[in-house]
Structure 1
C-alpha cells in the first residue's frame, strides 16, 4: 500500500533545473513531480506554502549529540566574560542540584576575556559547594575540574596533561571526562540525544554525522544515538574514531572508522599540532601530535581490509602533514586509485598551505569543515590571531581555496563547539574574514547540503545521486523557510546590502525553519511541541 501523495504548492523552490517551479509532489518518500502550480497533478493532500522557500535540507557533517543535548539543557558558559562570571553561573546552577551530583557545563572561552585566567579547582569547589565539577572549554579539548572530580579520577594525576590547578588537557582530560560523563544515566543520555536531534530538525537539518570514539564518547553512548536515527528526527550516520578500529566501527553500526580519531587537539586548548609555535604559549609549544605517519598508514590499510571509510581529526598543519604522509604510505601499498575510492575524510583541517591542500586533491580526501570557527575566532583580533598571529589567522580555514581546486567540502558545526546554525555557517563561509577564502552563497549551501551526503561512503546511501537536490526521483528531503530578508538567485539573502555591515555582526535576519521533511516524513513543524 502506497503512502498518501502530498502536493506542496504556492512557494519558491530552489531548483536550478527549473527556477520557475513553485510546487512539488511527494509520493512514497520521493519527489514525484516538480513544476508550476498551474501544472500540478492531483494529490491526496495539499500543503499551501504561502510563499515560503523550499530548499534541500541541511546535513551537519560533524556533531556530538549527547554533548549538544546536555549543553542545551545544562550549564551554558559561552556567555561568561571572566572567571568571576564562570563562578557566578556555576554557583547558581549547582545550587539546584543534589549534593552528590556531578555538575556538567560547557562553553567557556578565556581567549576573549580581559584577564584570560580561568578559575582554579579550589574556586570551583567553593562555588559548587564541594560538588564534582566538569566544565569543558569551547573546543572540548580541555576542561576545568573541581578538586572533588580530580579525586574521583586518580588515574588523571599520572596522565599527560594533568595540572593540579584543575585545568586538564590531553590524556588527563580524557580520563576526567570519562569519569564525569559516567554520572549521566541512560535516561538522561536519551533525553539529551533527543533534544539535540530535535534542535537539528528545527534548524532544517535532516541528517547528522555523529562523531564518537575513545576519549569522546562511550560505545554505549554512540550506539544509543545511532539507534535514534530517523525515529521522528534526522538520520544519524556514525563515525567511530579508534586507531585500527575499522572492524569495531562496523560492529558498532558506524559507516566509517574516523571522525574523532585524533591526530592532534584544538587551537583553543593549544593542543592542535603546528609546525611553528603558538605565540601566546609561554613555553613556546607547538601543540601535540597523537599519531605517527606509520599509524595513519596502518589505519588506512585496516580500513581497506574492512572496506570501511576512514578518517582523522587534524587541525594544525603539522598534524595534517603527518596524516598526509600516512596517506602516501598507504598509497604505495594500495595504489592511489584504490585509496581514493575509499573517500576518506579529514575533520576540521584548519591550518593548511597549498602543499597540504594538494594532498587532499591527490588522495581524494573529503574535508569536513566548520565555517563558524572562522566567524567566532578568526580575523585580525580573534582567538586565532592571539594564538597564531594575524597572518596565520587569516590563512586558517581555507575553504575557498579548497573549493577552488575541487576538494569535496562537507560543512558542519562540531556542535556543541559551535551551535547548530546552518544558515549562519553558510553566511560565515560566504564572508570569511579573509576575502581570498570567501565562497559564493550557492557553493557554501551546496557544501552544507549535498556535500554532507557526498562525504558518506557509497555503501551507506540509498542512491547518492538522488540526495541533496530538488528534482524528480530525488529523495523528498527538504526544508521550508520563512525568508525575512528575501530571496536572490533562488537562495535567501544572507548578507547586508552595505558591505560595511557584513561580517560576524551582520544584521541581516537569517531564514526561519517552518518545516523539515525527511524522505517524505515531517520531522519538524513550526509551532509543534
Structure 2
C-alpha cells in the first residue's frame, strides 16, 4: 500500500456538512468497497473523520492524498463490544494456560514461565479450562508450589470467575477467609476470587500496564477492529483507576482503535463520569460464569445438582443503580449469564418503569452483557425496555453444542438454548458482538462465523445480520448512529481485507457460511479517518 499526492481528479466537492472545515481529504482506493450507496464502488474519500464520497475511483473528486489499499475488499470495520485490554495484553506478552491439555502440561507451562521470573515475583497466568482435558483433575497443590518455585501464584480460569491460589498467598491474607467463595484449599470463587486476583495485579506497574494495553489495542487493529469497548471492574488494586484512564487516553491517539470504557461499580455513576467512562456497569456482575458454576440459574446445574450458581445483586440494588445512572446521564449495563440473573435485571427495570417513562428508559440504551439463557419472557422484557444484548457468539463455538462444557454443566437441552441469537434478532433486540477477550480471543470474523454456524441450527443468524451485529451494532449500542456503514456522512471506520474474489457472496462480503472459505486477512484498518493498521 502506498500514499501519494494526487491532483489528477476534478475539483474537490464535499458530500456532507459534517466534515470538518479545512480538514485534509484522502482518497482510499481498493479492488471493491462494500457500500449501500454504490454497488460497484472501489474508492472512498474521507475528510477528517467522516466519509464524504463513495464510488468509482475514475470518477472521484480531488483529494489531498491518495492511499492505495491494493487488491482488497473494503468493509465497515469491526467493533469489539466487550473486552478486557489489560489481560488481553498480558496474554499476548506471557504464556497462556489455555494451551494446557492436562494437569501435567499445566504444570509444565507454570514451571517454564516461573523460571523466567525473579524469586520475589508472583506467578500470574490465566486461561485454563479443565473441561478440555482428558482427565478434568486440577494439579495437586504441592506440585503447583514446586512448579512456581515457591512463589506466590494465582491462576484464573479461562472464564475469569474462579482461580487457583497458592497456600502462601492464602496464609498471608487471612482476610480472604471472610469473603464469599473462599476455599482453604485455594480454589477461589465469587468475592474471594476477585479479591485474590487484585492482590497480585497490584504488582503490575503503570508502565507495564500501558505496554500491555497498547499491545492489545494494536492487536485488535490488526484484525480490523476500529473500536473496543473496555469492561473495567473496580477493585482494590491501587492502579485500577489510573490504568482505566490511561487506556482511555490510548484510545484517543490516532494510531490506536477508539476505546469506550465501562466502569463496573455499583451506584458509582458520578465516579464513572469523572473517570471518563462511557457508562457505569458493563461487567457489573449479576452472577458469574457457567464454567465456574457461578452463573445464576433458575434450575440447578446438570453436573452438580447442589447448586444453581450465585446471584450477586438483588433487583432493588439494580434499581438503585439505574436511578444513579439516570441522575448522572449515563447508561447502565450488567454482566448477566444465567436466566435467574437476567430475570433479576428485568425485575429491576419493571421497578424503574413504575416511575420513569418507558420511552426514556429505551432511549438510554442500557445493556445486558453476555445475555445467555434468555427465554421468551425475558426476551419480551429486553424488547419492552429497549435493552441491547452485548453477546459473544464465540462462547457457543468454544463451549456450546451437545459434547462440550455447556452440555456437561447445563445438560444438552439447555446447552442448545444458551445462545438464542435468532430469537433475539427476530423480535428486534439489538445485538452487538464482542469477544470478552481474553476469555475468547479477539477474532471478529470468528465471531461472525460462530453466529452463522451456531450449534443450534434454529438460532443461527444470516451473514448480513451477523456482520451488522459485529460492526454497526456495536456503534449503535454506544449511541453512535452515524457509523458502521460506508456512505457519505458516516464516520470513517473501515477495514481492507485480502480475500479471493470467488469467496464473496452477493453483497460483496466473504461467504463464511461456507466453512471452506478462509478467514479474511486484514490489510489495513482505518479508525476516524486515521490508518491504525497497515499490513
TM-score range, shorter chain: over 0.9
Q: Which position in structure 2 is the counterpart of 1:500?
A: none
Residue 510 of structure 2, aligned match among 486, 492, 513: 492
Report the Cα distance in structure 2 between the residues aligned to 1:234 and 1:127, rounded to whole angstroms. Answer: 38
Correspondence 1:471 to 2:487: yes
CA contact (8 A) 2:30 2:73 kept: no
Q: CA deviation at 1:5?
A: 2.3
Q: Which position in structure 2 is the counterpart of 1:270?
A: 293
Q: CA deviation at 1:2?
A: 3.5
Report the Cα distance in structure 2 between the residues aligned to 1:4 and 1:303, rounded to whole angstroms. Answer: 39
CA contact (8 A) 2:228 2:258 kept: yes
CA deviations 1:193-235 (Å, max 9, x no partner) are: 1111011111111111111122497222222211211312011
Correspondence 1:203 to 2:223: yes
Correspondence 1:91 to 2:111: yes
CA contact (8 A) 1:135 1:145 kept: yes
CA contact (8 A) 1:216 1:260 kept: no
Report the Cα distance in structure 1 between the residues aligned to 2:173 and 2:246, rounded to whole angstroms. Answer: 25
Counterparts of 1:206-285 in structure 2, within 5 Å, are: 206-215=226-235, 218-231=240-253, 232-281=255-304, 284-285=306-307
Counterparts of 1:163-174 in structure 2, within 5 Å, are: 163-174=183-194
Tell me how large the CA RMSD over aligned residues is. Answer: 1.5
Correspondence 1:378 to 2:400: yes
Counterparts of 1:8-407 in structure 2, within 5 Å, are: 8-215=28-235, 218-231=240-253, 232-281=255-304, 284-407=306-429
Counterparts of 1:414-453 in structure 2, within 5 Å, are: 414-453=436-475
CA deviations 1:432-481 (Å, max 9, x no partner) are: 1001110011111111111111111x4xxxxx332111001211111111
Report the Cα distance in structure 2 between the residues aligned to 1:266 and 1:224, rounded to whole angstroms. Answer: 28
Report the Cα distance in structure 1 between the residues aligned to 2:252 and 2:275, rounded to whole angstroms. Answer: 17
Report the Cα distance in structure 2 between the residues aligned to 1:313 and 1:120, rounded to whole angstroms. Answer: 32
Q: CA deviation at 1:364?
A: 0.5
- Gaps of at least 5 residues in structure 1 are 459-463, 497-505
Q: CA deviation at 1:3?
A: 4.4
Report the Cα distance in structure 2 between the residues aligned to 1:52 and 1:114, rounded to whole angstroms. Answer: 43
Q: CA deviation at 1:507?
A: 4.6
CA contact (8 A) 2:195 2:236 kept: no
Report the Cα distance in structure 2 between the residues aligned to 1:27 and 1:340, rounded to whole angstroms. Answer: 33
Residue 517 of structure 1, aligned match among 517, 521, 526: 526
SS class of match (2:316) = helix
Report the Cα distance in structure 1 between the residues aligned to 2:22 and 2:503, rounded to whole angstroms. Answer: 37
SS class of match (1:491) = coil
Q: Which position in structure 2 is the counterpart of 1:483?
A: 499
SS class of match (1:338) = helix
Report the Cα distance in structure 2 between the residues aligned to 1:273 and 1:453, rounded to whole angstroms. Answer: 29
CA contact (8 A) 1:142 1:269 kept: yes
Q: CA deviation at 1:284?
A: 1.9
CA contact (8 A) 2:69 2:524 kept: no
CA contact (8 A) 2:176 2:192 kept: yes
CA deviations 1:471-499 (Å, max 9, x no partner) are: 01211111111114721121112133xxx
What is the TM-score when the length of structure 2 is the normalising length? 0.93
Report the Cα distance in structure 1 between the residues aligned to 2:173 and 2:241, rounded to whole angstroms. Answer: 20
- Gaps of at least 5 residues in structure 2 are 1-20
Residue 431 of structure 2, aligned match among 377, 402, 409: 409
CA contact (8 A) 1:211 1:239 kept: yes
CA deviations 1:30-61 (Å, max 9, x no partner) are: 21211112212222222223320101111111
CA contact (8 A) 2:82 2:435 kept: yes
SS class of match (2:325) = helix
CA contact (8 A) 1:374 1:433 kept: yes
CA contact (8 A) 1:121 1:145 kept: no
Q: CA deviation at 1:428?
A: 0.3
CA deviations 1:108-144 (Å, max 9, x no partner) are: 0011212212124332211111011111101001111
Report the Cα distance in structure 1 between the residues aligned to 2:138 and 2:397, rounded to whole angstroms. Answer: 23
Report the Cα distance in structure 2 between the residues aligned to 1:247 and 1:394, rounded to whole angstroms. Answer: 40
SS class of match (1:227) = helix
Report the Cα distance in structure 2 between the residues aligned to 1:351 and 1:112, rounded to whole angstroms. Answer: 22
Report the Cα distance in structure 2 between the residues aligned to 1:10 and 1:315, rounded to whole angstroms. Answer: 42
SS class of match (2:126) = strand
Report the Cα distance in structure 1 between the residues aligned to 2:250 and 2:268, rounded to whole angstroms. Answer: 23
Count of aligned pairs between the two proteins: 510
Report the Cα distance in structure 2 between the residues aligned to 1:152 and 1:14, rounded to whole angstroms. Answer: 58
CA contact (8 A) 2:77 2:226 kept: yes
CA contact (8 A) 2:285 2:313 kept: yes
SS class of match (1:6) = strand
What is the TM-score when the length of structure 1 is the normalising length? 0.94
SS class of match (1:367) = strand
Structure 1's consecutive aligned runs of 4 or more residues displaced over 3 angstroms after TM superposition are: 1-4
CA contact (8 A) 1:90 1:128 kept: yes
Q: CA deviation at 1:361?
A: 0.1
CA contact (8 A) 1:177 1:215 kept: no
Q: CA deviation at 1:363?
A: 0.6
